[in-house]
Each structure stands twice: as C-alpha cells, then as structure tokens.
Amino acid sequence: MTRSIHKLSPLKVPKLEGPKRHSDGGGLYLNVTGAGTRSWIFMWAVNGKRREMGLGSYPAISLADARSRADDCRKLVEHGFDPISERDRQLEKTFGECAEEYIAAHKSSWKNEKHQGQWGNTLTTYCARMWKLPVSKVNDQQVLACLRPIWASKNETASRLRGRIERVLDYAKSNGWRDGENPARWRGNLQHILPKRQKLARGHMAALHFNALPEFFERLQAANSMSARALEFLILTASRSGEVREAKWSEFDLEKKIWTVPAARMKAQKEHSVPLSEQAAALIGKLKANQVSEFVFPGQKIDAPMSDMTLTGLLRRWKVTTVVDGRERTVTAHGFRSTFRDWCGNETDYPRELAEEALAHQIGNAVERAYRRQAAIEKRRKLMQDWANYCVSCRN
C-alpha cells in the first residue's frame, strides 16, 4: 500500500458530507450516508478482489482509534492473513465459555444447586485440556482424551460427562459457533470407539439385603445422634435422602400421622403424602419435643438442613457394606428404598402398584394416579406399618 495516509483530520471528519466514502489513505475510509451517519471501513484486495471490514461507528471510534485499527489490519494483510477471519477467530467462544453459558442458561430448570454443582464440577475437572480451546476446534480426539481416562474406572461419571459435553457442543452449534457433527454423540459415533458401559445394579445404589435390615436397624436405634434419627426415619418411610434431610415441621400433621412432602422436593415434582407408621410417628414426636429449628433434622447450623454427606458418612464409618457384581461396596442411604421394594416383592402379598406408590414412583396416567392416591393412602399406611414392624423385628 503506497498511497499516502492520514489525509483526514479530527476537525474535517465531522464536516464531511455523504453519501460518500472519504479516504484517509492506507485502506481506511470514513463512510458517510445520506442521513449523515458515519462509520469506519478498512478496504484491501486479495487476488484482485476487493474486501472490506467495518471498524466501528464515528464518533464512538475516533479518527485516532480508527487509524490504529487500520494499522493492525494492514500488518495482517502484509503477513498474508485475512483481517476478518482473524477478528472472528478472536471473538470465537472457547469450550469453557460455552459450558459456562449453557449452565447459566439452564440452571433455573434444574431441581437443585447440587445438580448445578455437579454439571460445573464434572466439566471443569475432566475437560480441563480443552477448556480454553476454541469450541469450533473440539473434535473426536479431544472428547476421547477427556473420556478415556475414566471410562472404565468411573463409568457412570464418564457417561454423564459425555452427555454434558454433547449438550454444550449442541448449544455452541445452535449459536453458530461451530458446525458439522457433534463429536461427543454416542449413537453412530463414540459407540464404535468406546466399549458399551455396564449398567449398575438396580437402583444404581448399593442396597442392604432385607434379611440383614432388622439387625442393622437395632444398631441404628441404639445410636444417639441426629444422623441416626434421620436415617431411621428414612428407612421407616422408604424416602429419598433429600426429602428427609430437608423435611420441615410445617409438613407434618402428627394428629393424622401424615407427612406431606411438597412438590419442589420430589423427584417427579408432585406433592407426596406419606402415612406414618407408629414407629415413625413416635420418632417424630420425640424430636418435636426438643425442636430447635424449622428443620426436623437440622445440620451443624440449626437454621440449615442436614448435609447431604451426613448419612453417607454414617454408613461409611459403620462400614455397612454389601456385595455388588462381586465387589464389596458401602451401602447407600438411597439403597434402602431398594431394600424396601425387595422386601415388598419377596416377603409380602401387597400389590406391586401399592409398593410403587409408597416409593412415589409414577404408575399409570394422571387420572389413575389421582384416584389411587386418594384410595390407597390407608392401604399404604398398613403397608408402612408392616414394614416398620419388620424393621424392629430383631428387637421384638
């Protein structure tokens, strides 16, 4: 570019009329429209073809700023680079930025903060090697480099990680930041490279066999701690950990012996009524006499619920284990729901649907569920009482 530069001046720029492009030299032009709006343009030629790129509007971008930007563009052209491609490359999102945007956009639809944390933790932990990589450059090999180290040893985590990477890359494609096939897609892609993951035992959680429950329950009742009371109540009601740990006194009708868990804390987002056995009602009654918080099972801070690791920690300290697929594993709090379900199926004549209702599983259509909820509450009460009697049968 041999033509002279700096033809314009700060005083001249606001007075130029249009519609016309006024040259400052060196490929920099001030474009003035008929309406008087002004913007900067850089123009150059590649193989005889003219190219142009906007540098911003005037006066937001001053003459000095426009010259500085044009100078950067000239240097790129001199070294064989395309200024537009380089600008787009610098503006391109990284995989990490896309992941953070996806989480921010979807977290309001996720049920709890723990789920949000799991999303962020798995991606930052296992995708560190491609976190700062332009999202358009993520390919099969980069995805595999994240998955392979944990595919066999942490199969469930790896499977969830793959799904989360796939969603982030789909999000990037929808926003125009990448194109082509999704390298994290399983069907027709990674399924031909990675071995099929093994399914976990029913319920995905290690469960205590119902034959061993009464003896364990006797030990649990003898323990003098809030975590033991919470686990005792969880077993008696066959409830999920979060439902129990975050239970509030306002949810209990001790006269009718009913615990109503609000929809917000239920997996299916449907309110669930739990008929309390004599043992469960007695346990709650004793805790009520010493109430110190709105939470039935407060944590270390009385104004907060018990931590999600409290029940897990108790089972680990007590070394309560079972064998799953030939390996010894620590029993989980959630696994006691499987213990209850297996007891119902093997030791009682209660209908399968009644046991599923007790576990708050969705059975049938909405009309059938509404009818069964009303008709089966007392039937479920009898089931839960028989279950409680079985739990304490070792002591009896």
pLDDT-derived band at 360, boundaries 50, 70, 90: confident
Contact partners, residue 102, CB within 8 Å, separation at least 6: 167, 168, 171
pLDDT digits (tens, 9 = 90+) for 9-45: 999 999 999 899 999 999 999 999 988 889 999 999 9
pLDDT digits (tens, 9 = 90+) for 283-318: 999 999 989 999 999 998 888 899 889 999 999 999
Work out whether the CA dihedral 345, 350, 353, 359 comes out positive or negative.
Answer: negative
34 exposure class (CB count in 10 Å sphere: 0-12, 13-18, 19+): exposed
Dihedral, 300, 242, 323, 191 alpha carbons, nearest 10: -120
Burial 150-160 (b: 16+ CB within 10 A, else e): bbeeebeebbe
Work out whether the CA dihedral 323, 349, 260, 250 comes out positive or negative.
Answer: negative
- Computed over every residue of the chain, the mean pLDDT equals 88
Identity of residue 203:
G
Pick the residue with more confidence: 84 or 182? 182
CB 5 within 8 A of CB 24: yes
Can you tell me the distance from the alpha carbon of 339 to that of 238, in angstroms, rounded to the nearest whole number?
9
Pick the residue with more confidence: 116 or 209? 209
Phi, psi of 57 (to 5 degrees): -90, 155
Read off the pTM. 0.54
In the chain, the domains with their CATH numbers are: 13-82 (3.30.160.390), 95-192 (1.10.150.130), 210-392 (1.10.443.10)
